[in-house]
Amino acid sequence: MTLILSNADVENLLTMPECIDVLDEAYVELAEGRGISRTRSDSLTPTIRPDALYGLKSMDGVSPKLGVSAVRINSDILTWPKQGDSMRRVKVPSAPNGRYVGLVLLFSTHTGEPLAIFPDGVMQHIRVGATNGLGVKYLARQDAKVLGMLGSGWQAETQLTAACAVRRIDSIRCFSPNKANRDAFAAKMSRVLGVEVVPVDQPEQAVVGADIVMCASNTIDNIFFERWMAPGMHVSAIKRPEIETAALKRADRLIIHTNDGTPTHILTKDLVVPEKTKGKGWSVAEEIDFKALPTLPQLIAGKTAGRTADDQVTCFVNNLGLGYQFAAAGAVVYRKAKEAGAGTELPTDWFTEDVHP
């Protein structure tokens, strides 16, 4: 039988510590070349909405050790509105009933059969948080206690949850441009974490004096700058453009998620994509050779050095997601779902065939 799960099921089954632990272990397999991950692919075309583009995104990965493979697929309507001087990448919930479209398909590497199908949303933001949490675990000072957050959206929630899972954080300051959002975020996360999250009016108030600074935004422009760096600080980003190039160059130790600099972009003829224009999104930090930088899996596997002194500035950039993450986290969800009897089972024959493809 093939298991159908909801976002609510995934949220109930996958905790942040579990996601951190499974990625921590699985990344060793990836660093040693036994696990594999295909570079994310974005196919972009015009759509009927004049201020938007249609995007078909996919990524996949295989974990032989866990016996699973995963494909993540997103079918998106994309816009790039401006907020002040910054441009943001915003998905529009255009499917029936105002919904988004993202799926994870989990397969067995032993039989090839489809094990489970579920929405990507909850797992997506847990695995991003867990990845940056691993950056904190392996790069931040052991005595890091003060955290500055730039961003107050859904991704920011799991960034804080992950950081608090790997360090004893006792002070958090948060800035985002929308006062109502950051106030609501601070109140909610103070309750969730049991640590006071203080909303502040300027980004400098969040980052100055922080041991750890985490960026979690949907901007395609810089939001963290070299002038804010201080000895002993650890800085992290959930996407490439958030940290100014000069800051990346100044870091004593810069670790990225993957050596793939950008997704594979397939575009219709003459299509203009805002986040591919000069100085925006994927065009930020073009002078940095991402192929030559050490990666988080290499760091976890002991193949590259991390922080070697308390006064060093370390930086982790979660520059591109991996399909492999969905295989690793998906294995946990599938095992726990079977143990708990969660989800809905459908005949596997519905998703397989007796005709040679």
What is the residue-wise DSSP string for 31-98? HTTSSEEEEEEEEEEE-SSTT-EEEEEEEEEEETTTTEEEEEEEEEEEE--EETTEEB-EEE--BTTT
Average pLDDT over residues 329-346: 98
For 20, residues 6+ apart whose C-beta sits below 8 A from its C-beta are 130, 133, 134, 137, 162, 165, 166
Q: What is the pLDDT of residue 45?
A: 98
pLDDT of 121 > 80? The answer is yes
Average pLDDT over residues 111-127: 98
Average pLDDT over residues 14-18: 98
CB 337 within 8 A of CB 14: no
Please state the φ and ψ torsions of residue 69, each to the nearest 5 degrees: -130, 160
Query: First CA to last CA across the chain, in angstroms?
Result: 21
Domains of the chain by residue range? 2-123+323-349, 127-317
- DSSP string for residues in 179-245: HHHHHHHHHHHHHHHSS-EEE-SSHHHHHTT-SEEEE---BSS--B-GGG--TT-EEEESSGGGB-H
Note the CATH architecture for domain 127-317. 3-Layer(aba) Sandwich (3.40)
Q: Is the pTM of this model over 0.85?
A: yes
* Percent over 90 (pLDDT), the chain: 91
pLDDT of 195 > 80? The answer is yes
CB 314 within 8 A of CB 243: no
Among 212, 219, 72, smallest CA distance to 145 is for 212
Yes or no: domain 2-123+323-349 corresponds to CATH 3.30.1780.10:
yes
CB 158 within 8 A of CB 126: yes
From CA 212, how far away is CA 215, in angstroms rounded? 10
Q: What is the pLDDT of residue 113?
A: 98
* pLDDT tens figures, 65-118: 999 999 999 999 999 998 777 788 999 999 999 999 999 999 999 999 999 999
Which one is predicted more confidently, 180 or 280?
Answer: 180
* C-alpha pair distances (Å), 167 with each of 162, 176, 292: 9, 23, 29
Provide the residue type at 279 as one letter.
G
Burial 140-149 (b: 16+ CB within 10 A, else e): bbeebeebbb
Q: What is the pLDDT of residue 11?
A: 98
**Helix and strand tally (H, E) in the chain?**
9, 18
Q: Which two tokens stand for residue 75?
A: 């079918």
Q: Which two tokens stand for residue 35?
A: 């696990």
Please state the φ and ψ torsions of residue 9, each to the nearest 5 degrees: -60, -50
